[in-house]
């Protein structure tokens, strides 16, 4: 279920004040061009993302305004101006002034994000039959179709009356949040963009990301093919200006594995937040690229379990909670964690905790080589059952049975509150954050949907009371519609009791 942004990772085990969520990026494309260079994957929930076959995106940003004349070698086309100007957060303005030898029948503006092979197409206004083109055309990106922090590739396609087609060279424009003076820090695989941060903290973010890439590569042979960009915001209010309108106020980040980019709130000096969020999110980026294929993707428990396993903080709370569940006999079949995780807090927390222990069991029983072989099978697009059989040499049902028995044995031997990693002292996954939610993202963003479901339940309750308590004059006795119920805190808005 990898697609554009992805699995809502509940960092319930951490002390984050706000959730890190995926906005399934580039939203509905305006129109898909008939020819594609490859087959795209299904993207669950909000969006899609497809395989990219381009060279790595360079860390240096393209200019906010690009103007390059087409080479004179293009037959039948003389370009006077070919420009694009980014106007964040509204969109991009394109201009084309050119002369053709034959009358023009159609003009198309083609563009795409770096993680997409499917193109979006715009049909700008022009005078049909003219040989002199003077076009100004803007695309509106305020809906979040293209998240900031990426390069956008574009070109013009001109069809003449005799059927001849002329295309200008593809050009690149940086679509970035230009409200801040971003400073790039480049590593071998990751570039971290930050502002108003100490260079040492900036380096910590990059080091955490690069360690994760190295660990996954050395342990399982999972390689990054495309450079990943990390945009580190110092404050959640700053991030809100980069998100699509009407984004929920508890969102603390957005990740797009298919576009090789993620945004996160990393307060300066907060190393605990770096250790939790960065390895988890980078793990999703690596796994997406290492297993990307048109037919299938790793099950949710494997994707989220690995991402949680490679965190540098916040794991013991999940592990302790999994032991508690096992002691209570509350271990669901592993295949129930293949897809969408539960929407409620307890269900989502249990899903992440159990996913972590499933990954731990595979590593304990088969080692890094077994995990590497299992991951390699998903690159071939096989079913979950075939992947486990080919990668581990046993059936999926047998893996499920062995994992459950091992987890219950650990629960009996170690008891409640036991730890394994020594990175946060164990305890309740949500003990440090009260009733708040925290999300990080992987492949298919579900976190936001969870919170929406919670709020929707409250609203539904209020509506019911409103309908039943209307007095004869149409007034409302008790709760007033659109007012948040007294004594009930809005999800994700309350501050945590402490930090990991």
User: Does residue 461 fall inside a structural domain?
Assistant: no
pLDDT along the chain (500 residues), means of 10: 36 39 32 32 32 39 50 75 95 97 96 88 96 96 89 96 94 96 98 97 98 97 94 94 78 83 95 94 95 93 96 94 95 94 85 97 98 94 95 97 97 88 71 36 38 42 40 35 35 30
Q: Residues 446, 351: contact at Cβ < 8 Å?
A: no
Model pLDDT, residue 429:
63
State the CATH number of the domain containing residue 395: 1.10.390.10
211 and 132: one domain? no
Strand partners, 304: none
Phi, psi of 86 (to 5 degrees): -80, 135
Kindly state whether residue 101 falls inside one of the protein's structural domains: yes
In a domain, 117, yes or no: yes
- H-helix or E-strand spanning residue 468: helix 447-468
Clarify whether residues 369 and 308 are in a common domain: yes
In DSSP notation, 410-423 reads HHHHH-TT--SS-S
Domain closes at, from 154, 175, 196: 175
22 CB burial (10 A radius; 0-12, 13-18, 19+): buried
* 239 Cβ contact list (under 8 Å, min separation 6): 233, 251, 252, 253, 263, 265
Considering the entire predicted model, what is its pTM? 0.72
CA 82 to mean position of chain CA atoms: 33
Beta partners for 132? 99
Shared domain for 262 and 399, answered yes or no, is yes
CA torsion, ordered 27, 29, 34, 35, to nearest 10 deg: -50
pLDDT of residue 58: 42
Is residue 249 included in any domain, yes or no? yes
What is the token pair recorded at 162? Answer: 């005799």
Among residues 152, 175, 198, the one where a domain terminates is: 175
Q: Which two tokens stand for residue 186?
A: 């480049």
- Verify that 250 and 304 share a domain, yes or no: yes
Its domain, for residue 281, covers 8-25+179-441
Q: Is residue 295 part of a domain?
A: yes
Q: What is the pLDDT of residue 245?
A: 79
Closest C-alpha to 35, from 115, 157, 118: 118
Residues 154 and 203 in one domain: no
Q: In this structure, is residue 34 part of a structural domain?
A: no
CATH of the domain at 163: 2.60.40.770
- Note whether 191 and 279 are same-domain residues: yes
- Shared domain for 115 and 251, answered yes or no, is no
Tell me how many domains the chain contains: 2
At which residue do the structure tokens 């820090």 appear?
A: 185
Short-list 289, 261, 290, 266, CA closest to 277: 266
Residue 50 belongs to a domain: no
Contacts of 398 (CB under 8 A, 6+ apart): none
Q: What is the pLDDT of residue 484?
A: 31
First to last CA, the chain: 30
Residues 142 and 190 in one domain: no
Say yes or no: 287 and 138 in one domain: no
> Is the same domain home to 288 and 386?
yes
Based on the domain organization, do 304 and 418 belong to the same domain?
yes
* Distance separating alpha carbons of residues 401 and 399, to the nearest angstrom: 5
Return the percent helix, strand and coil in the chain, to nearest 5.
Answer: 30, 20, 50
Is the separation of the CB atoms in 117 and 37 below 8 Å?
yes
Does the residue 97 lie in any domain?
yes
- pLDDT value at residue 126: 96
Domain ends where: 414, 441, 468?
441
Does 392 lie in the same domain as 311?
yes
What pLDDT is attached to residue 39?
A: 33
Query: What pLDDT, on the 0 to 100 scale, is given for residue 334?
Result: 97
């Amino acid at each position: 279920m990898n697609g554009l942004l992805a699995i809502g990772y509940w960092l319930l085990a951490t002390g984050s004040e706000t959730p890190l969520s995926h906005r399934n990026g580039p939203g509905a494309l305006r129109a898909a061009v008939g020819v594609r260079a490859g087959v795209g994957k299904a993207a669950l929930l909000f969006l899609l993302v497809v395989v990219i076959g381009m060279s790595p995106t360079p860390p240096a940003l393209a200019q906010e305004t690009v103007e390059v004349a087409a080479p004179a070698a293009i037959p039948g086309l003389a370009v006077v101006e070919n420009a694009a100007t980014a106007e964040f957060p509204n969109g991009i303005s394109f201009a084309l002034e050119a002369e053709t030898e034959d009358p023009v029948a159609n003009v198309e503006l083609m563009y795409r994000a770096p993680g997409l092979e499917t193109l979006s197409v715009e049909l700008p206004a022009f005078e049909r039959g003219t040989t002199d083109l003077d076009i100004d055309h803007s695309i509106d990106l305020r809906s979040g179709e293209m998240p900031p922090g990426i390069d956008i590739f574009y070109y013009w396609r001109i069809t003449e009356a005799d059927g001849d087609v002329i295309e200008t060279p593809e050009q690149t424009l940086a679509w970035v949040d230009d409200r801040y003076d971003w400073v790039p820090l480049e590593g071998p695989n990751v570039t971290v963009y930050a502002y108003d941060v100490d260079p040492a903290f900036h380096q910590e973010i990059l080091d955490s990301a690069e360690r994760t890439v190295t660990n996954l590569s050395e342990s399982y042979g999972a390689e990054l093919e495309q450079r990943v960009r990390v945009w580190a915001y110092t404050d959640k209010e700053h991030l809100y200006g980069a998100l699509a309108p009407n984004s929920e106020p508890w969102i603390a980040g957005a990740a797009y594995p298919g576009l090789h980019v993620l945004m996160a709130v990393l307060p300066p000096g907060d190393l605990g937040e770096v250790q939790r969020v960065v390895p988890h999110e980078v793990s999703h980026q690596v796994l997406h690229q290492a297993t990307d294929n048109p037919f299938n993707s790793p099950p949710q428990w494997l994707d989220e379990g690995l991402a949680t396993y490679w965190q540098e903080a916040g794991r013991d709370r999940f592990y302790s909670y999994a032991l508690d569940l096992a002691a209570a006999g509350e271990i669901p079949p592993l295949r129930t964690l293949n897809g969408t995780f539960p929407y409620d807090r307890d269900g989502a927390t249990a899903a992440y905790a159990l996913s972590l222990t499933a990954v731990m069991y595979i590593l304990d029983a088969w080692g890094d080589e077994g995990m590497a072989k299992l991951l390699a099978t998903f690159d071939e697009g096989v079913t979950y059952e075939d992947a486990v059989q080919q990668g581990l040499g046993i059936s999926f049902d047998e893996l499920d049975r062995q994992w459950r028995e091992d987890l219950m044995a650990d629960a009996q031997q170690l008891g409640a509150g036991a730890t394994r990693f020594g990175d946060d002292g164990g305890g309740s996954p949500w003990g440090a954050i009260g009733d708040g939610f925290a999300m990080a993202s992987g492949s298919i963003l579900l976190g936001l949907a969870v919170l929406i479901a919670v709020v929707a339940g409250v609203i539904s309750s209020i509506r019911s009371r409103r309908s039943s308590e209307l007095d004869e004059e149409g007034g409302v006795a008790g709760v007033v519609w659109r007012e948040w119920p007294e004594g009930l805190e809005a999800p994700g808005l309350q501050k945590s009791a402490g930090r990991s």
